[in-house]
Chain A
């Protein structure tokens, strides 16, 4: 269905870095030299998880005439901001800087991408907000980037890929969680992987479709890690947003997590209540793609099973191809739920949306 009123907050919109050349103006002298010596401008740093040409990566009518889907501001304004009557849209950039092994190069590129977003997008439309891209290859470097950009309240969260070197709850990553909490920034875990590990414990699948479907296992593993390691006990104000996760997988995962925890909870004494309850307190999910069948009752059942209508955040996933026409909302949502999902929940999740922009 269409959005029934103006003022929705879109919590997952994608912008694409068209090429390395686009971020060159934002690199420091050392990295300019590295770009020249290594001829880095010739590299294609689009992620294996989202080849720009794949159906998933760009709806046919949302593709610009030139460059990858999501590289054109006018198209974003016309097809999403205006058409959906958005009050805000949060930009998530998925790019190869998150997949490189060299930590310093990754950090330099993340810095440049964030500055490029601020200049090329946020400065040009006041409805735009963005996530801070961080180099998760090294927690110290990731923290440094959070600290560097946190003063700009148009950056409303930290963005990481779902598939990283290590599970996010691992203590080696706690400095990042601590910095995010300290600055009131949720951490968005977005579908996609740096492919440090195969998409399945059973090995490397053949198809992009298979990888994409298997993203739910990554999200489940990240929640398993964050809860089991006690991240939410250690950082009680931390919020985690699962972006483009699919939603309907959550209850089955959480039921099993609860059951196993009851049996073996002496292993994790810091988890003092059922994992599903911890998840309800700290985790949000963006709406698209809601992997629900056409029958609206199925999604209603899942939301009842999730047991909270405060966990879902509206998203169009523009320009990814999750729906056709203007039916940006899945069927099955009630009026009161819609108001929460479209406006109230995003405002409660992103405290920075309520701040005056400095």
Chain B
């Protein structure tokens, strides 16, 4: 019954080097975060709370069926993912993580309706990542959180942080007010390209206020969980068809936690129907799949599980072995273990690429 909660025996250090491209640091409590906000916004947060586009301001309207790994509760207490020392031994050491990329989803500024407050939340989140995580554990790297709904503020935040190499990417919400390919967001992409920072889009629990499926809101968490991939597919389609990669050919887009098994079929569909209706998007000079092959990467968790494991190899052959970046989603319940996650034979070269070399190249990590 309680076996999962007993301390794990030390494992032999795994020889495989791992770059984990999706780790979630968690607040112990709101009090931990307040000092990072200016007094004006501290007071605002405590009085008005976050003003978001869903019925509940403090949690998801589809409560998660499971949240975190039961064994990820820090020994000193607090929520999983809230103790850097516990994360160090429980995850980074155990799993041979050479670099861990933080996705500090909460508190999120990008879902906030009050844009000024949103920008303040992002800035505070960035300071918190450095002070509470990266300063204490040099293997961790941050993502500059920005609010996409105020592109000017986002660009200011990027410029302010870009010289700090402890930040390796820019992060904003793919559930935005408009599809992310639209030109109002382009100043952000220009800043990313100029500073050689990839744009990492992680699926959010909520944001735009639009129904999570194009057919309306689903009833169950089981359905809502599927919509994470739809959100990412929508952004993928928008950024390609609006010509973002024609305009910013050096922009690197990393889609985090949105899956990748859908990529071949969506590319075929895009190419096929683009051929028929290319006069609607004359700014595209090449078939959509060509931009996708050059500008977009995908993290691996939650790992796709075809019924026939060998289909996974076929999928990756089509997408490109250089396109996938390993991730665990620590400490969430659907964590992928680097030792067991791939159910297929891989060449040593492919293993190295997916577990570390691709990420080191995309994020310019030594």
Seen from chain A, the residues whose Cβ lies within 8 Å of a Cβ on chain B are 54-56, 162-170, 193, 196-210, 212-214, 216-218, 220-222, 224-225, 228-229, 246, 248-249, 251-253, 255-261, 263-268, 276, 289, 291-293, 298, 301-302, 305, 307, 321
Contact = CB atoms under 8 A, between A and B. Distances in A.
B214 A163 contact: yes
Contact of B180 (A164, A202, A213): A202
A317 B213 CA distance: 25
Given A228-B218, A228-B219, 11 more contacts: A167-B216, A205-B237, A207-B281, A213-B273, A216-B266, A221-B223, A225-B218, A253-B229, A259-B305, A289-B272, A321-B276
Given A216-B269, A252-B259, A305-B311, A210 B237 contact: yes
Given A248-B268, A259-B305, A197 B237 contact: no
Contacts of A193: 214
B296 interface: no
Contact of B215 (A221, A301, A321): A221
B338 interface: no
Given A55-B276, A162-B215, A248-B268, A201 B210 contact: yes
Interface centre among B221, B233, B273, B314 (most CB of A within 10 A): B273
Nearest to A194: B215
B343 to A, nearest CB: 12
A207 to B, nearest CB: 5
Interface string B222-254: 110111011101110110011000000000000
B202 interface: no
Interface in B168-216: 174-182, 208, 210-216
A220 B176 contact: no
A136 to B, nearest CB: 11
A213 B214 contact: no
B29 interface: no
B231 A200 contact: yes
Given A164-B215, A221-B215, A267 B220 contact: yes
Contacts of A214: 214, 233-234, 237
A198 B31 CA distance: 38
Contacts of B274: 209
B contact residues, range: 35 or more
A209 B277 contact: yes
Contact of A249 (B213, B218, B269): B269
Nearest to A265: B222
A221 B230 contact: yes
Nearest to B212: A201
Contact of B273 (A162, A165, A168, A212): A212
Contact of A258 (B214, B262, B305): B305
Contacts of B222: 224, 228, 260-261, 264-265, 267-268
Contact of A197 (B216, B220, B279, B334): B216
B16 interface: no
Given A210-B237, A263-B65, A198 B265 contact: no
Q: Which 5 A-B pairs have the closest CB atoms?
A: A200-B234, A221-B213, A252-B261, A264-B65, A291-B269
B234 A199 contact: yes
B237 A166 contact: no
Given A224-B226, A298-B268, A202 B231 contact: yes
Contact of A201 (B211, B223, B276): B211
A165 B229 CA distance: 22
A196 B269 CA distance: 24
B66 interface: yes
B109 to A, nearest CB: 17
Contact of B269 (A208, A246, A256, A258): A246
A215 B35 CA distance: 46
B306 A267 contact: no
Contacts of B230: 200-201, 217, 220-221
A233 to B, nearest CB: 14
Contacts of B349: none
B263 to A, nearest CB: 8
Contact of A198 (B214, B218, B271): B214
B308 interface: yes
Given A202-B231, A204-B179, A251 B268 contact: no
A209 B241 CA distance: 9
Contacts of B226: 220-221, 224, 253, 256-257, 260
A264 B226 CA distance: 12
Given A203-B176, A255-B261, A293 B231 contact: no
18 contacts: A193-B214, A198-B211, A200-B237, A203-B208, A205-B181, A209-B274, A210-B238, A221-B223, A224-B222, A228-B223, A248-B269, A255-B305, A255-B306, A255-B307, A256-B259, A261-B222, A263-B65, A267-B222
B270 A213 contact: yes
A305 B306 contact: yes
Interface centre among A55, A164, A165, A258 (most CB of B within 10 A): A55
Contacts of B271: 293
Contacts of A163: 214-215
Contact of B280 (A204, A209, A222, A255): A209
B281 A209 contact: yes
Contact of A202 (B216, B238, B277, B302): B238
B184 to A, nearest CB: 11
Contacts of A289: 272-273
Contact of B176 (A56, A202, A248, A256): A202
A197 B265 contact: no
Interface centre among A167, A200, A221 (most CB of B within 10 A): A200
A167 B262 CA distance: 22
Contacts of B86: none
B93 interface: no
A179 to B, nearest CB: 20
Contacts of A259: 302, 304-305
A209 B235 CA distance: 14
B65 A213 contact: no
A44 to B, nearest CB: 20
B333 interface: yes
B216 A56 contact: no
A215 to B, nearest CB: 8
B265 A228 contact: no
Nearest to B261: A252
A210 B241 CA distance: 7
